[in-house]
Amino acid sequence: MVIGAGLIAEAGRHLPELPGTERAFVVADRSVADRWLEPLSRGLEPRGLGMVFLGVPSGEEAKSLPVYGALVHQLATQEAHRDDVVVGLGGGAVGDLAGFVASTFMRGLPLVQIPTTLTAQVDAAVGGKTGVNLPEGKNLVGTFYQPRVVLCDTTTLSSLADRDFRSGLAEVAKYALAIDPDLLAELERDPRAVIAREPEALERLVARCVAAKGRVVAGDERDHGTRLHLNYGHTLGHALERLDSFSGRTHGEAVATGMVFAARLAEARGLARDRDLTGRTVRLLSALGLEPGGTLPATDRVLAAFRMDKKWSGGARFVLLEDVGRPVVVNDVPDDEIEGILRAMGATG
C-alpha cells in the first residue's frame, strides 16, 4: 500500500518486481480514463510496460457477469499471458471487477489497484475482496484475491463530485464509529479540513482508515470472524442498493442509512451503552455532509432483500455497537423487530 499525491504519474516507481510482465491491461470507465490514463501511461513507461485500455461502464453497471465476460474475452483476444498485469483504475466497482477478472483469467494474473475515489481508497481497494453483482443481490459472485500493490493517489480526490466525496465519507464514518474511536473524536471535534479536502488531511485520513482495515483483515482475511465488523451499516445498505437497482442511493448514502438503522436497533435491544448512539451517529453523518434517510422501500421488500445477502444464515445478520469501537455480530434478528425499526424510519408495510 502506497499513499500520497501524484502516484499515478510515477506508478512505475512503486510497482513490485513483475518478472516477465510485458503489458498492463487497465480496466477503467471512460470518465476516469479521460482524466488519468495518459498520466498512468507516462508513469508506466520507465518499466517498459505497454498499456492496453479495457473500457467498462461507470459505477455499479460495470459489476455484472456480461461485462466480466466481455473483459476476459478481450484478454484472450489480446493474447494476455500469465505474467501480464491487470490494473483496476477507478472507483470501488471497477476495482472489484478488475480484481475478479485478474483472479480468474488463467487462474490468476498479477493485480494492481489504483483507486481514484475516497470510497475505494479507504475501503473497497483494501482487503482483497473482488466480485460482481447479480440481479438478485450485491457481490454474490466473487473471490478473495490480494493485489500486488495498491496505489492511493490522493490527488484524484480533489476532482471528485461533492456527492461522490461525501459517499466516501460514509465509509470513513463506519471506521470511526465501529473501529477507531480516536478518529471519531477527531471528526466530531473539527471535520473542516477533511470537508475542505486539504491534501495533508486527506493523506492522514486515508492512511488512518487503511490502517484500521488492515488490522482487521490481517486477523480474518476470509470473513469468518472479526472482519464481519467492517460490514457495519452494510446489511441494510446493500439491501437498499439492490432495491434501488444500484442506481438510486450511492453506496455511501445507503450505508449511512444502514448505520442509523443499526444504531436504532442497538438502542431498541438495550445493547448500546451510549443511549444517544443514534443521535451521535446522525450528528456525525450530518457534519460530514450526509443526510441519511430518503424514502425507504416497503418492509416486505427489504426483508426479501436481506434473504439474498451473502451473509444470510437462517436469519438477518447485523453488526451492532455495544459502544463506539465495540462492534458485535448479532444473528437471527426477528422480522418483527426489523420491521419496527424500519417503520420508525418511515418505511411502509
Bridge partner list, 328: 320
* pLDDT per residue as tens digits for the range 317-337: 999 999 999 999 999 899 999
Name the residue among 96, 93, 62, 140 with its Cα closest to residue 308: 140
Q: Mean pLDDT across the chain, nearest whole number?
A: 94
DSSP 74: H
Beta strands in the chain (DSSP E): 2-4, 23-29, 50-56, 85-90, 111-115, 132-134, 137-141, 149-153, 316-323, 326-333
Are 246 and 305 in contact, with CB atoms under 8 Å apart?
Answer: no
Distance CA 211, CA 218 (A): 10
Q: Is 115 a residue whose pLDDT tops 80?
A: yes
* pLDDT per residue as tens digits for the range 259-311: 999 999 999 999 999 889 999 999 999 999 998 877 899 999 999 988 887 66
The residues, any chain, with a CB within 8 Å of residue 42's CB and separated by 6 or more, are 9
Q: How far is CA 68 from CA 33, 83, 90, 119, 324, in A?
A: 18, 20, 16, 22, 39
- Number of residues that make up the chain: 349
Which residue has cell 490468476?
108
Average pLDDT over residues 198-206: 97
Distance CA 36, CA 284 (A): 33
Distance CA 68, CA 63 (A): 7
Give me the amino acid identity at 262. A
Q: Output the pLDDT for position 47.
A: 94
Q: Output the pLDDT for position 313.
A: 66
Q: What is the pTM of this model?
A: 0.94
Are 168 and 195 in contact, with CB atoms under 8 Å apart?
Answer: no
Residue 108: what are its φ and ψ, rounded to 5°? 130, 115
Are 98 and 142 in contact, with CB atoms under 8 Å apart?
Answer: no
The residues, any chain, with a CB within 8 Å of residue 165's CB and separated by 6 or more, are 118, 157, 197
Q: What are the extents of the domains in the chain?
A: 2-159, 162-344
Q: Is 2-159 a CATH 3.40.50.1970 domain?
A: yes
The residues, any chain, with a CB within 8 Å of residue 44's CB and separated by 6 or more, are 11, 12, 24, 51
Q: Is 33 a residue whose pLDDT tops 70?
A: yes
Are 61 and 246 in contact, with CB atoms under 8 Å apart?
Answer: yes
Band of the pLDDT at 62, cuts 50, 70, 90? very high
Q: Tell the CATH topology of 162-344.
A: Dehydroquinate synthase-like, alpha domain (1.20.1090)
